Amino acid sequence: MSTSPGTTGPAPGASDTADREIVLQRVFDAPRELVYRAWTEPDHLRQWFGPNGFHITTHEVDIRVGGVLRFTMHGPDGTDYPNWMRYTEMTPPARLVYDHGGDAPGDEPNFRVTVTFDDQGGRTAATMRMVFPNAAARDATTRFGAVELGYQTMEKLAAHLAKM
């Protein structure tokens, strides 16, 4: 976090979570209503979600505020990654917020995701902000490849949207 001499908070205009967040952005050639639906409708989500070489087994789908999406992401090397998302805010077609964890849905989340969908005249700028409990958790996720894997996932979403 950057600070000015004599202050204790972030510099003016800086995010107070900047040292513990990952931000991914992409512009999609689709209207934001369609992009939002691709993020929130199970039939669409299962077709694009996850990086290249990964596939998903869905165990529970309840995409609504308070609902949970629970799935196992299977890596190309055969490693299984349990995941869950608990939806905390849904503001169609502009904003989606969920907590994301790796074990049981009752456990503490690993991070919070806020996705905003900004209309750009028939195109959509999506910004995905992942905020971690601390910088060390963010750094570990970055070392795992979260940025590259996240952009691979967004590329798969772009391909899916082109077919919708």
Domain boundaries, the chain: 18-163
Q: What is the CATH number of domain 18-163?
A: 3.30.530.20
pLDDT band at 104 (very low <50, low <70, confident <90, very high): confident
User: In which residue are the tokens 């369609």 written?
Assistant: 34
Judged on CB neighbours under 10 Å (0-12, 13-18, 19+), 125 is middle
- With a cut of 70, say whether residue 103 has pLDDT above it: yes
The model's pTM: 0.88
pLDDT band at 2 (very low <50, low <70, confident <90, very high): very low
| Cα distance between residue 129 and residue 89, in whole Å | 14
User: In which residue are the tokens 């999506």 written?
Assistant: 126
3-state SS assignment for residue 31: coil
Mean per-residue pLDDT, 128-139: 97
Selection from 156, 134, 146 nearest residue 49 by Cα = 156
pLDDT at residue 6 in the model: 39
Residue type, position 45, single letter: L
pLDDT band at 14 (very low <50, low <70, confident <90, very high): low
Residue ranges in 8-145 assigned as alpha helix (H): 32-40, 42-48, 135-144
Among the residue ranges 11-15, 124-128, 155-159, the one predicted with the least confidence is 11-15
